[in-house]
Chains A and B, each alone.
Chain A
Amino acid sequence: MGLINVTINNQTIAVEEGTTILEAAKKLDIRIPTLCYLNLEHVKTVNGSASCRVCVVEIEGRRNLAPSCATPVSEGMVVRTNTLRCIKARRLVVELLLSNHPTDCLICEKNLNCELQSLAAELDIRRIKFHGVRATHEKDISSKAIIRNMDKCILCRRCETMCNEVQTVHVYSAVNRGFDTFIAPALNLPMDKSICTFCGQCVSVCPTAALTVVNEARDGGHGKNGSCS
């Protein structure tokens, strides 16, 4: 495969054809914030849904910002990752995500371990500007292992990629469309009635608390053998 010359933030590098801007930037030690992107190198699987638009960059000669995780480099491409336009777009995207996200961070399972929270902090978001309709889904606590709280889902589709492509169990798929979209098992069945094997890999890749595990010690009584009383 041929090498392609690309310039990112005034640094030039030659990378293999098919490399994304994000990967090329990484080689130059340039960090582009990401949210939905997930690269499971050891199993050669990438979640490239490019749904969050947090990693947008400016490309010379292109009118629109491009998602760096899903845009392959081309010869002579000149990219800027840290312009005011990029940063503003990133902030806007995260503000919009937060406008449809619960704000119970302090008592959230993922407090201090949440990628959305870290990103909001990194981008210095101190106010939620938008107040619109909120998605409201019933929390699925049917299973003894995995809790599904779709109110906290940002539709990154990592769980789908993990379940379908890596584990090949095919539990999840997106249901409905537009604002009404959520991730669910077939027929929107509760987890305990789905074909889920409860391997927990979806939980491990979920950036927020949309998918969490049942904590017997803390929540007690969820399972029959868990409580002392």
Chain B
Amino acid sequence: MESKCDTQEKFKQLQKFIDSMEDRRGALIAVLHKAQHLYGYLSNDVIFYIAEKLEIPSAKVFGVISFYSYFTTEPRGKYVINVCLGTACFVRGADAIMREFEKILNIKAGETTEDKKFTLSGLRCIGACGLAPVVMVNDKVYGRVELNQVKTIIEEYQEEA
């Protein structure tokens, strides 16, 4: 769990980021990116804070968050596994890869493991169709993933305590 001090530090960073923006109303997406990067998700408090600072109605901010699948209002695991389900990856067996992840982690797509280590989700096309099927773990990209590699990928992050 995060300490209170930690939270305050992140809050200050977000505040500083917003204050550095020249056009506040046009800055919403950039600010949401920053906030999600800092906190891992967008909590109600953060949503209301951003709305107030940018002078954008909170309903609108929530609407924008809900529109883009990238943004999440639920806390996510330390490692977010994204299986690309775009056309190219799909025809090369991305659905089977997804099922394998679901089986090994014992969670469904969109869910987070109980130990908050892994979140499994699907996304549409990351523009690496030549490497299909593609899996991303946080910012790291795995290309031409085969079924028997799934376990190895998970283990890579399991061992790291």
Q: Give A contacts to B, CB under 8 Å.
A: 164, 170-177, 184-188, 195
What CA separation (Å) do A171 and B57 show in the bound complex?
8
What CA separation (Å) do A185 and B47 show in the bound complex?
13
Query: Are the C-beta atoms of A185 and B67 separated by less than 8 Å?
Result: no
A sample of 28 inter-chain contacts (CB < 8 A) reads: A164-B57, A170-B57, A170-B58, A170-B59, A171-B59, A172-B59, A173-B57, A173-B59, A173-B60, A173-B62, A173-B63, A174-B63, A175-B62, A176-B67, A177-B66, A177-B67, A184-B59, A186-B47, A186-B51, A186-B57, A186-B59, A186-B61, A186-B62, A187-B44, A187-B47, A187-B58, A188-B62, A195-B58
The A-B contact count (CB < 8 A) is 37
- The interface size bin for chain B is 10 to 19
A153 to chain B, nearest CB (A): 15
Question: Taking A186-B47, A187-B44, A187-B47 as contacts, is the C-beta distance between A175 and B63 under 8 angstroms?
Answer: yes
A101 to chain B, nearest CB (A): 23
| Residues on the B chain within 8 Å of A175, using CB | 62-63, 66
Q: What 1/0 mask marks residues of chain B from 27 to 57 whose CB sits below 8 Å from any chain A CB? A: 0000000000000000010011001000001
B14 to chain A, nearest CB (A): 19
| Residues on the B chain within 8 Å of A172, using CB | 59
